[in-house]
A = this chain, B = another copy of it.
Amino acid sequence: MPAPADLPLDQVRTLLAVVDEGTFDAAAAALHVTPSAVSQRVKALEQRTGRVLLLRTKPVRPTESGAVLVRLARQVARLERDAYAELGLSGAGEPTRVSVAVNADSLATWFLGALTRVPREHALCFELRREDEDHTAALLREGVVMAAVTSSPDPVPGCTVRYLGRMRYLPCAAPDFAARHLDGPPAETLAGAPVVLFDRRDDFQDGFARRLGHRDAGPARHYVPTSEGFVDAVAAGLGWGMVPEPQAGPLLGAGRLVDFAPDRSVDVPLYWQQWKLDSPALATVAEAVASAAAEALRR
């Protein structure tokens, strides 16, 4: 690749717009140019770098090389915005955007509270991406986001890591479901009981069953791909599931859930990873996230 200084930034920005908007047409609309101009700029950048930068899927996805340039484009934009803000120019232009990947359970429990702690005078705009905590780091690596709540303590290249705390998960079921399917030690009954999973990638319930000596959770599986829906499905008696402590608490208190293996909770450590950038906007968000996490999560 040519030296970064040689890369035409308008082409790099166009690449970013295509990835953000998902299609060449949408990027063209956002940039107020024609779709063929967008297509030409991306092609020119691909010729210049000698790499395929985009997979022409729907939505468009960056290749590994494309992701490097997308990250560059976002970092340049971040630095430009911060410089404008320091010069007192941000009021006139675009608001300062902070993009963060968050796992669904954090988003459903403590994360939005963190964002409301960011002082209003910063006038930040948040772009949240919901992703499994094992996969948020990938979005950071691809340059899709500038920070992530992740279960990985290993820093993504170019990023710093900060420990947030542990989210505790309790093995829960509705009382009548437990009476019907879990009447006996879970080490014996669990594999025969219906289970609720988040999606096909969710192996959390299987891992729990394996630790009790089963080969897996049972074959009767419901998939409910929202955090709140997952808890609702467990409380409605569709199956058992590992429920985050902040969501389980009120339902256990109200007798709508039972913890069928109280000594078997599972803790998932969470970390904050962010670009190593001297950005006041990002630093403010990081502070708010760390302080909200300190209250909501276990140490």
Q: Confirm or deny: A226 has a beta carbon within 8 angstroms of a beta carbon on chain B.
A: yes
Give CA–CA (A224, B107) in the complex, Å: 9
Q: Which of A126, A221, A229 has the most CB atoms of chain B within a 10 A radius of its CB? A: A229
Total number of A residues with any Cβ neighbor in B under 8 Å: 41
Q: Which of A20, A112, A227 has the most CB atoms of chain B within a 10 A radius of its CB? A: A112
Q: Is A128 in contact with B225, judged by CB distance below 8 angstroms?
A: yes
Main secondary structure of the interface of A (DSSP, over half): mixed
Given known contacts A116-B236, A229-B108, is B224 in contact with A123 (CB within 8 Å)? no
Give CA–CA (A1, B220) in the complex, Å: 36
Q: Confirm or deny: A140 has a beta carbon within 8 angstroms of a beta carbon on chain B.
A: no
* Assembly stoichiometry (copies): 2
- The distance from the CB of A140 to the nearest CB of chain B, in whole angstroms, is 16
Q: Is A200 in contact with B22, judged by CB distance below 8 angstroms?
A: yes
Q: Confirm or deny: A238 has a beta carbon within 8 angstroms of a beta carbon on chain B.
A: yes
Residues of chain B within 8 A of A221, CB atoms compared: 95, 125, 127
Residues of chain B within 8 A of A123, CB atoms compared: 220
Partner of A116, one of B112, B129, B225, B238: B238
Can you identify 9 A-B contacts, CB atoms within 8 angstroms? A21-B200, A57-B61, A95-B219, A104-B226, A107-B229, A116-B236, A116-B238, A125-B221, A226-B226
